[in-house]
Amino acid sequence: MGNLRYLTKEGFRNLKVNKLMSVASVTVLFSCLMLIGIAFMILVNIQSFISGIEAENVIMVYADLDASDYEYMALGNELNALDNITSVEAVEKEAAYEEILAEMDENLRIYLSGLDENPLPDAYRVTVTDMSRFENVVNEIKKLDGIERVYENSSLAKQLEGIRDSVTYISLGIIILLLIVSLFIISNTIKVTMFSRRLEISIMKSVGATNSFIRWPFMVEGIIIGVIAGILATGAVWAVYEFALTSFTSVLTGLGSGVQVSFLDYALYLVAAFVGIGIFTGIFGSATSIRKYLKERKFVELED
Amino acid sequence: MIQFKNVSKKYDNGTHALKDINLTIEKGEFVFVVGSSGAGKSTFLKLMMREEVPSSGTIVVDDIDLTKIKKRDIPKFRRRLGIVFQDFRLIPNMTVFDNVAFAMRVIGTKEKKIGRRVPYVLSLMGLNEKARNFPQELSGGEQQRVALARALANNADIIIADEPTGNVDPQMSYEIVDLLMRLNEAGTTVIMVTHEHSLVRCFDKRVIILDKGNVVSDGGSLVREAATSHINPVSEIEHRYDVPPEEDYSAYTQGTSAQAEEFAVTGGAE
Ligand SMILES: Nc1ncnc2c1ncn2[C@@H]1O[C@H](COP(=O)(O)OP(=O)(O)OP(=O)(O)O)[C@@H](O)[C@H]1O
Ligand SMILES: [Mg+2]
């Protein structure tokens, strides 16, 4: 339909003509979306951090420091014989040491490589099949001989589970609050735009334009503003997130979780959600606030 | 046909702008509406285009009862009219071309046709060079002519013009009325409000005189009035116009009907 093309073109032209208002709307929407995005990324990270710990259904079994190779292998066989075990993986101390060194800070590495002896014991990494019987397995292992230490995360994971729920609710609450605030600000911005253009609207009506003919360019405008703000906000959240990651990376690894959420895993969802929110607010914001200016006078017979 | 039956209009602030108006304007008629400022002329036109609604009475335009018309039918109704507003009502952020084209786009005219028609109506108003200008870049008279061009764009059945000559010089005024007259000859109903009695006198058409919301005279053309009657209902008002009609308009009283035909043929949107 040629008409649709004209009305869409008109929407773009209006954006250009009302430059100041367009920039203001994009800025407002962009700011709100960025805050939402940041809150979302924080939530996602906390979630992933906690489930990362939880998912470690791994028991580290450290052999006695002075255990012989034979004793070490015997321990391996005993572990393998246990119930509810998926795998038993030998972690020889040389390999483990290398691994740790590789992950370490340069200075610390130089310091540690000065040590003659490998301070680590040989160990086995035991993976449990049924998590509900995790505790049983741990107790069984503890009964075995030749063990220096058994290390597992289950108690920490349990504590964190409670925290995770409250963190989730709080973040969701914040996101919803921000969403409401955004809608409010955006609808006000649109109202101001409409008010400043009420003359234009009334003229269009007086030459016989239908409401939808008048409304369409405004909606196109709203959609464009939404798309631009959505894309910009995604970019901004990305930048902020990458910056935060590099600044806090040491803190996060210090907390024992090497798992970092990659922004790119969520970028698509964020763009989709932001552009969606933008389009939604653009369409409904303009549709509802234009109504006031589209009203016709009603005929009511007065008694004289 | 436009019919007013017992129409009164009282604005919300209590102003009684029109009082019990009864009149009929036939299809194809040419009517001047004159009267002093505040007499209710614009109100009369606004009721006719359903921009205002009467406080009582009924208004029927071409079998449509404007007091009963459904909201969603109002735009369609307005498209039958070519309206020149007293305050021009040009869209400030559109060029002259687009202002005129807008009225055609509203009714779904093809861009190709718009591209031919708009320059034509602009040329009738002597505005071709201003097509790319914005309304605020034009003089009052030029803006008025754009408003007129827009009203002509769609070849409407009824042209309602509120002081279409208020801001232009006598020669241009005469040419505008002459153009409206020629449209009228081609079948268009024309209702034109004006202050200028001197102008009205040059044309032998029905004149409705409003005063303080009442129709004080209807029917007689001022040409005949002046010739046959000693009582001129507007003689008092007329003194305010410093343009003596005979001197300024008589020179232009020969219109060419060839132009009128050309106008109709070059065609508007149907
Ligand atoms: N929207 C309105 N609200 C209240 N009163 C109004 C409104 N429009 C017009 N009036 C009043 O109604 C009366 C008639 O106004 P109208 O505009 O019809 O006069 P007019 O004959 O067109 O005058 P002019 O020649 O100055 O244009 C005036 O007293 C005016 O003040
Ligand atoms: Mg008026």
What value of ipTM does the predicted structure carry? 0.74
Ligand 1 center to A10 CA (angstroms): 34
Ligand 1 atom 1, closest CA: B11
Tokens 């409010």 label which residue? A184
The domain A58-152 is classified under which CATH number: 3.40.50.720, 3.90.1150.10, 3.30.70.3040, 3.65.10.10? 3.30.70.3040
Q: Kindly list the protein residues that place their beta carbon closer than 5 angstroms to ligand 2, a single-atom ion.
A: B 42, 86
Which contacts (CB < 8 Å, 24+ apart) does range A219-222 have? A219/A11, A219/A282, A219/A283, A219/A286, A219/A287, A220/A7, A220/A8, A220/A10, A220/A11, A220/A12, A221/A11, A221/A14, A221/A15, A221/A22, A221/A282, A221/A286, A222/A190, A222/A279, A222/A281, A222/A282, A222/A283, A222/A285, A222/A286
Report the C-alpha gap between A121 and A91 in whole angstroms.
9
Question: Nearest Cα to B38, choosing from B195, B233, B258, B143?
Answer: B195
- On whether any CB of chain B is under 8 Å from the CB of A296, the answer is yes
Ligand 1 atom 16, closest CA: B40
How far does CA A281 lie from the centroid of its chain?
22
Ligand 1 center to B40 CA (angstroms): 6
Torsion of the alpha carbons at B9, B10, B16 and B21, rounded to the nearest 10: 20
Residue B84's CATH number: 3.40.50.300
pLDDT for position A107: 66
Report the C-alpha gap between A245 and A242 in whole angstroms.
5
- On whether any CB of chain B is under 8 Å from the CB of A8, the answer is no
pLDDT beneath 70: ranges in chain A = 1-2, 53-57, 96, 100-101, 103-120, 131, 153-158, 249-260, 301-304
Contacts of B136 in chain A (CB under 8 A): none
Distances (CA, A) of A153 to A78, A168, A218, B149: 22, 21, 57, 82
For A63, the enclosing helix (H) or strand (E) is strand A58-63
Three-state SS for chain B is CEEEEEEEEECCCCCEEEEEEEEEECCCCEEEEEECCCCCHHHHHHHHCCCCCCCEEEEEECCEECCCCCHHHHHHHHCCEEEECCCCCCCCCCCHHHHHHHHHHHCCCCHHHHHHHHHHHHHHCCCHHHCCCCHHHCCHHHHHHHHHHHHHHCCCCEEEEECCCCCCCHHHHHHHHHHHHHHHHCCCEEEEEECCHHHHCCCCCEEEEEECCEEEEECCCHHHHHHHCCCCCCHHHHCCCCCCHHHHHHHHCCCCHHHHHHHHHHCCCC
pLDDT for position B192: 96
Where along chain A do its domains lie? 2-54+157-296, 58-152
Q: Do B56 and A204 touch (CB under 8 A)?
A: no
Q: Is the CB of B119 under 6 A from ligand 1?
A: no
- On whether any CB of chain B is under 8 Å from the CB of A203, the answer is yes
Q: What's the structural domain count of chain B?
A: 1
Q: Do A304 and B55 touch (CB under 8 A)?
A: yes
Distances (CA, A) of A78 to A82, A88, B128: 7, 10, 99
Distance from CA of A226 to the nearest CA of B (A): 23
| Residue B104 forms part of a structural domain | no
Looking only at the bridges linking them, the beta strands covering A147-151 and B16-25 are: unpaired
Report the C-alpha gap between B261 and A216 in whole angstroms.
38
Report the C-alpha gap between B127 and B145 in whole angstroms.
8
Distance from CA of A225 to the nearest CA of B (A): 19
Ligand 1 atom 4, closest CA: B11
- Closest residue of chain A to B103, computed from CA coordinates: A207
Contacts of B54 in chain A (CB under 8 A): 299
Ligand 2 center to B87 CA (angstroms): 9
Question: Going residue by residue through chain B (270 aa), what tens digit of pLDDT does each one get?
Answer: 999 999 999 999 999 999 999 999 999 999 999 999 999 999 999 999 999 999 999 999 999 999 999 988 999 999 999 999 999 999 998 999 999 999 999 888 999 999 999 999 999 899 999 999 999 999 999 999 999 999 999 999 999 999 999 888 888 888 889 889 989 999 999 999 998 888 888 888 999 999 999 999 887 666 544 444 444 444 434 443 444 444 344 444 444 444 444 454 444 443
Give me the domain span that covers residue B186: 2-89+157-254
Distance from CA of A220 to the nearest CA of B (A): 17
Which of B54, B106, B108 is nearest residue A207 as measured by Cβ atoms?
Answer: B106
Q: Do A203 and B90 touch (CB under 8 A)?
A: yes
pLDDT for position B243: 40
Contacts of A299 in chain B (CB under 8 A): 53-54, 66-68
